[in-house]
């Protein structure tokens, strides 16, 4: 639960009489993000975007989150009793183990891979590992085993993982078929650039 001095997520400035409280947040998209309007009223809630980011991180690892007014008397008792209080955000995925939480949300990425649409689809919707063929470009200096961010063709970060190759090798093999890697590097230490076990989707 996140309990600031606000009743939940509104579809506009909460001081405006036509603004309405949203009781449920299910899909993280531009429409939901646009609802994070800073109140211009005295005592309004600051940092709405930062609170939404905290909610996004929690729901990305499978946790449900309630955003409600922490100044309301007996608010915890009401929530635990099942009353509809504030805005409920549903966890997007099944619970993520601590290892993947560390990869996805604790360590700052050392580099970035920009992927083609097929690679994002395979990772996000099909549970696949990342192969070199799906990587369009590589940015940053990183060693093997460090965390890198995965971006789609538009530059949106959607996943993070532990790379099996360092930056120098990645520049050499990005966009190449797995069958070509051994010829380029002299051997094939790993078939995947990032194995699914070391990868976490963060959107």
pLDDT at position 44 is 44
Q: Hey, what are 21's tokens?
A: 């409280």
More confident residue, 45 or 159: 159
pLDDT at position 2 is 75
Tell me which DSSP letter residue 133 carries.
G
Nearest to 141 by CA among 114, 170, 176, 107: 170
CA angle 148, 107, 191 (to 5 degrees): 35
Average pLDDT over residues 122-130: 96
For the stretch 171-188, pLDDT in tens is 999 999 999 999 999 999
Residue 161 has pLDDT above 90, yes or no: yes
- Tell me if 89 sits within 8 A of 62, measured CB to CB: no
Q: Which residue has the tokens 């099942």?
A: 82
In the chain the domains, ranked by start, together with CATH numbers, are: 9-89 (no CATH), 99-201 (2.30.130.10)
More confident residue, 112 or 102: 112
More confident residue, 45 or 51: 51
Question: Average pLDDT over the chain, rounded to whole?
Answer: 84
């Amino acid at each position: 639960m996140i309990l600031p001095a606000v009743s939940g997520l509104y579809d506009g400035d909460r001081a405006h009489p036509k603004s309405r409280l949203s009781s449920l947040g299910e899909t993280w998209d531009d429409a939901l993000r646009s609802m994070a309007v800073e109140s211009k009223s005295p005592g309004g809630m600051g940092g709405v975007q930062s609170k939404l980011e905290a909610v996004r991180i929690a729901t990305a690892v499978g946790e449900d989150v309630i955003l409600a007014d922490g100044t309301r008397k007996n608010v915890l008792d009401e929530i635990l009793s099942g009353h509809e209080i504030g805005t409920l955000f549903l966890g997007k995925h099944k619970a993520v183990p601590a290892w993947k939480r560390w990869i996805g949300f604790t360590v700052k990425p050392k580099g970035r891979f920009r992927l083609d649409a097929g690679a994002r689809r395979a990772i996000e919707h099909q549970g696949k590992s990342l192969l070199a063929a799906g990587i369009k470009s590589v940015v940053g200096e990183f060693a093997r085993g460090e965390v890198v961010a995965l971006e789609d063709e538009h530059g949106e970060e959607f996943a993070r993982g532990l790379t099996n190759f360092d930056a120098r090798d990645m520049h050499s093999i990005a966009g190449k078929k797995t069958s070509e890697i051994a010829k380029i590097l002299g051997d094939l230490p790993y078939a995947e650039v990032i194995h699914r076990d070391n990868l976490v989707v963060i959107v």
